[in-house]
Structure 1
Amino acid sequence: MDIQLDIQKEDIEGTWTLQWLASCVMVWGGALPYVPQYQEIQRTSNTEGFSTRICLLLLIANILRIFFWIGKQFELTLLLQSVVMIVTMLAMLHLCCHVQQANRVSTKQHHFTDLDLRYFWSWSSFEDYLLFCFVFTLLWAFLSLLLLDSGLFVEALGSLAVLFEAMLGVPQLLKNFHNRSTRGMSVKMVLLWTAGDVFKATYFVMNDSPAQFWVCGGVQIFIDVAILTQVLYYNQDFKLG
């Protein structure tokens, strides 16, 4: 009997350890693929291979996901993941702004407060992006305060959050197609993205996360494969002849 109890205790401890490791990967894994890209931009002082629209989509998605969590409290892991991703995207934006300011030839400045849609998300300073995030968060905080008791609003909020997250690869996909180049990207980088998204989708399904999450994971994997195909096609090393 004691032996059986010891075995059960070891199984429980082993399961808890795996769950803890999976949670850690979920929290930090989404940010890791951006580390080599951050280093590449630092090394080359060139942001051509990175679309800051990805930052826009991920900031919106994760800010909305935080409000979704307030209305429908799913795993704390996914909340922490959103916080880490917001910090990561702000770090990427800060670096891009620094590099672009150093490389800028024109002295003309564009700011969020100009309210000029032609230059939306193409502002001249990092502070403008911070101001956008603050205004966006304030707006949704006000709406959530009014409507958070509505189940329909909460579910719609969750769907909107994961819709933005699912589309995060689209700007990069379109930029690669427009430039006919994947400069600044590598097979290793995209494989990291894909592996991370496969892990996330699996985590969502196994932990019975809200349906919005695993649908999002499936769409992200499809887009990752499309970007990987572009990298292989546009990279001279993989072209025939």
Structure 2
Amino acid sequence: MVLGGALPYVPQYQEIRRSSNTEGFSTRVCLVLLVANILRIFFWIGKQFEMTLLLQSVVMILAMFAMLHLCCAVQHTNRVSTRRHRLSDLDFHYFWQWSALEDYLLFCFGFTVLCAVVTLLLLDSPVFVEALGSLAVTFEAMLGLPQLLQNFHNRSTKGMSVKMVLLWTAGDAFKTAYFVMNESPTQFWVCGSFQILIDAAILLQVLLYGQDTRAKLG
């Protein structure tokens, strides 16, 4: 359960390394997961749930930084222009499209400090704690949306496979079942159910766009 959430990204990590192409992966997936899991950690501080889920968040954060590190390295290798985008540029058009891992780390550090200050001030409020948990799982429920939208925009699922998406779906189904059986906070299983629906939509895209690609090649 601790590693299950990160395992589906292993084949995608391997595919990006093999192809030196990040086109099939949206780094905004990393943004969504980092924000969701940072918020989940602070939710745990206010309302202790299973330690397993807390450790899962730590593992997922490390996994997302590994994905970002790889994407930065690949984009640096493939870069035609010498123009580099940094967090310090304060250019909203290139938000979360920075050229160095340090910028992502700095953003997440700032976000964590902000969450820590707000949580410290409002920790005694049950309404705030429940709202924090709802916000965390809402971000996590949106996990597949950046990938879904990128696939729709590109009319392509290059770099993705049916096997990869089935791994996502199986992981989310197992996770949701775990939440229900262990009577985790309601926010968790609602989030898991929504993620399964998004996984199903992405699977349809892989099948549809894969057929289109084969038809063009034929």
Fold shared by both chains (TM-score > 0.5)? yes
- Verify: 1:97 aligned to 2:48, yes or no: no
Residue 56 of structure 1 aligns with an amino acid whose one-letter code is: L
Which among 130, 141, 153 is matched to residue 166 of structure 1?
A: 141
Residue 72 of structure 1 aligns with an amino acid whose one-letter code is: K
Spell out, residue by residue over 1:128-187, the C-alpha distance to the aligned partner (whole angstroms, 9 max, x if none): 000001000000001011001100100000000000000010000001011111000000
Which among 58, 65, 70 is matched to residue 40 of structure 2?
A: 65
- Verify: 1:50 aligned to 2:31, yes or no: no
Give the C-alpha shift of residue 48 in structure 1.
Answer: 0.3
Contact 1:47 1:99 in 2 (8 A): yes
The CA distance in 2 between the partners of 1:69 and 1:130, in whole Å, is 22
The CA distance in 2 between the partners of 1:51 and 1:68, in whole Å, is 26
Contact 1:233 1:239 in 2 (8 A): no
TM-score by structure 2 length?
0.97
Give the C-alpha shift of residue 237 in structure 1.
Answer: 8.2
- Verify: 1:40 aligned to 2:15, yes or no: yes
Which among 75, 97, 112 is matched to residue 122 of structure 1?
A: 97
Residue 177 of structure 2 aligns with an amino acid whose one-letter code is: T
The CA distance in 2 between the partners of 1:138 and 1:112, in whole Å, is 17
Give the C-alpha shift of residue 44 in structure 1.
Answer: 0.4
Spell out, residue by residue over 1:76-106, the C-alpha distance to the aligned partner (whole angstroms, 9 max, x if none): 0000000000000000000000000111111
Residue 118 of structure 2 aligns with an amino acid whose one-letter code is: L
Contact 1:55 1:89 in 2 (8 A): yes
Give the C-alpha shift of residue 236 in structure 1.
Answer: 3.1
1:118-157 alignment runs, 5 A limit: 118-157=93-132
Q: Which has the larger radius of gyration?
A: 1
Could you say which residue in structure 2 is the equivalent of 1:175?
150
Residue 125 of structure 1 aligns with an amino acid whose one-letter code is: A
Give the C-alpha shift of residue 238 in structure 1.
Answer: 8.9
Bigger RCO (CA 8 Å, 6+ sep) = 2
Query: Residue 235 of structure 1 aligns to a residue in which SS?
Result: helix
Query: Residue 107 of structure 1 aligns to a residue in which SS?
Result: coil
Which among 160, 172, 192 is matched to residue 167 of structure 2?
A: 192
Could you say which residue in structure 1 is the equivalent of 2:61?
86
Provide structure 2 residue ranges, at least 5 long, that are not aligned to the other structure: none
Provide structure 1 residue ranges, at least 5 long, that are not aligned to the other structure: 1-25
Give the C-alpha shift of residue 239 in structure 1.
Answer: 6.4
Length, aligned pairs only: 216
The CA distance in 2 between the partners of 1:236 and 1:200, in whole Å, is 30
Query: Residue 97 of structure 2 aligns to a residue in which SS?
Result: coil
The CA distance in 1 between the partners of 2:213 and 2:153, in whole Å, is 19
Give the C-alpha shift of residue 110 in structure 1.
Answer: 1.4
Hey, which bits of structure 1, 4+ residues long, moved more than 4 A? 237-241
Query: Residue 57 of structure 1 aligns to a residue in which SS?
Result: helix
Identity %: 77
Query: Residue 24 of structure 2 aligns to a residue in which SS?
Result: coil
The CA distance in 2 between the partners of 1:72 and 1:113, in whole Å, is 36
Taking only aligned residues, the RMSD between alpha carbons, in angstroms, comes to 1.3
